[in-house]
Amino acid sequence: MKICEGVELDVQTFREQTGLVRRLPTLKEALDPFRQKIHDTIAKHWPNSTIIVKPSGPTTTYIGFALWQKNDWPNGIFENDPAATKIMIHDSHTKDGDVSPKMDMSGLTGGTLWGKNATRLTKIGWRDAKGDEKKILQTLDMYFGKKLKTAVQKFSAELDDKKKSDR
């Protein structure tokens, strides 16, 4: 097969090489078990919330959390959710796709519960963490299972008011 002037491609070799590439596990497949554990850790506390866990490059994992579903976000904007949270786990995986023994988790946004008219209701108390898979999951469980849950229960009336008024 002629690709361009002076460059020929052997079709059989091309098929063999592309077939090999197709059989390699994708990054998404390689990261799936750990990401699923993260999702399950958050979802056991917030089953009706928006939870996004996905790779953000070959060695980093992104976590997005919103207390409500998209149709309840003011103006349909993720950041307008009262508990919108974005977290990055750096070095969550090796370049080979294995779970790393030394991770660095940091909050990009969140750690605050917002009410109507961008009124800060309370700080939730996010803490960055370093460690292995167990430490990262414990930190997420503490934040979403205890700290955030306590804040949402305390300010449930204000959150209901925000949800009704911003529609």
Give the tens place of pLDDT for each residue, 4-15: 666 666 666 666
Tell me the residue range of the domain where 125 lies.
27-165
Tokens found for residue 88 = 């990055």
In a domain, 90, yes or no: yes
Collapsed DSSP state (helix, strand, coil) of residue 108: strand
In a domain, 79, yes or no: yes
In a domain, 2, yes or no: no
In a domain, 12, yes or no: no
In a domain, 10, yes or no: no
Which range is least confidently modeled, 16-30, 43-57, 87-101, 104-118? Answer: 16-30
Whether residue 30 is predicted with pLDDT greater than 60 in this model: the reply is no
Per-residue confidence (pLDDT) for residue 57, from 0 to 100: 83
What CA–CA distance (Å, rounded) separates 76 from 71? Answer: 6
In a domain, 54, yes or no: yes
Residues 6+ apart with CB under 8 A from 104: 89, 90, 91, 128, 129, 130
CA distances from 4 to 8, 9, 11, 133 (A): 7, 10, 14, 50
Greater confidence (117 vs 1) lies with: 117
In a domain, 69, yes or no: yes
User: What confidence tens digit (pLDDT) does each residue in 77-129 have?
Assistant: 999 999 999 999 999 988 887 889 999 999 999 999 998 888 899 999 899 99
Greater confidence (71 vs 162) lies with: 71
Whether residue 24 is predicted with pLDDT greater than 60 in this model: the reply is no
Q: Domain tally for the chain?
A: 1
